[in-house]
């Protein structure tokens, strides 16, 4: 109930450059700001140093690592028959689409 109430308030007052809008943006900015970061027992306070440390951390975290890939030789996979393949590529019917949309949660986009 509170979630729906907050949505209606945002729709009514949110994007109108109001005090409510600016308060929401100020709160979001303060929640997302990293003003101090503890690294290796020490503290980093300068924004440039925080930015550089984050960039280096994620570069090392997401760099490609070489590791032995599993070999799939000797594994038997099931094969799809022509009949099954035809059933997989048949276009969706309007009834199927409508039933999927009707089963969706009301708070989600179809």
Residues 25-77: tens digit of each pLDDT: 888 888 888 889 999 889 999 999 999 999 999 999 898 888 888 888 888 88
In a domain, 17, yes or no: yes
| Residue 9 CB partners (closer than 8 Å, separation 6+) | 20
Q: Which uninterrupted H or E stretch holds 37?
A: strand 37-39
In a domain, 99, yes or no: no
Instruction: Report in angstroms the alpha-carbon separations of 75 from 56, 78, 82, 101.
Output: 41, 10, 22, 39
List the domain range (segments joined by +) for residue 31. Answer: 7-62
In a domain, 107, yes or no: no
Written as six digits, the tokens of 8 are 């209606």
In a domain, 20, yes or no: yes
Instruction: Report in angstroms the alpha-carbon separations of 54 from 44, 47, 57, 60, 66.
Output: 11, 11, 5, 10, 23
pLDDT in tens, 18-28: 777 788 888 88
What is the count of structural domains for the chain?
1
| Residue 24 CB partners (closer than 8 Å, separation 6+) | 10, 14
In a domain, 80, yes or no: no
In a domain, 83, yes or no: no
pLDDT in tens, 70-93: 888 888 889 999 999 999 999 999
In a domain, 88, yes or no: no
In a domain, 50, yes or no: yes
């Amino acid at each position: 109930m509170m979630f729906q109430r907050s949505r209606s308030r945002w729709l009514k007052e949110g994007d109108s450059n109001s005090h409510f809008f600016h308060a929401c943006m100020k709160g979001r900015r303060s929640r997302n700001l990293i003003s101090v970061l503890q690294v290796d027992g020490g503290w980093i306070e300068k924004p440039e140093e925080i930015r550089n440390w984050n960039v280096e951390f994620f570069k090392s975290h997401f760099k490609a690592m070489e590791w032995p890939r599993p070999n799939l030789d000797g594994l038997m996979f099931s094969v799809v028959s022509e009949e099954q393949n035809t059933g997989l590529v048949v276009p969706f019917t309007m009834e199927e689409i409508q039933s999927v949309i009707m089963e969706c949660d009301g708070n989600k986009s179809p």
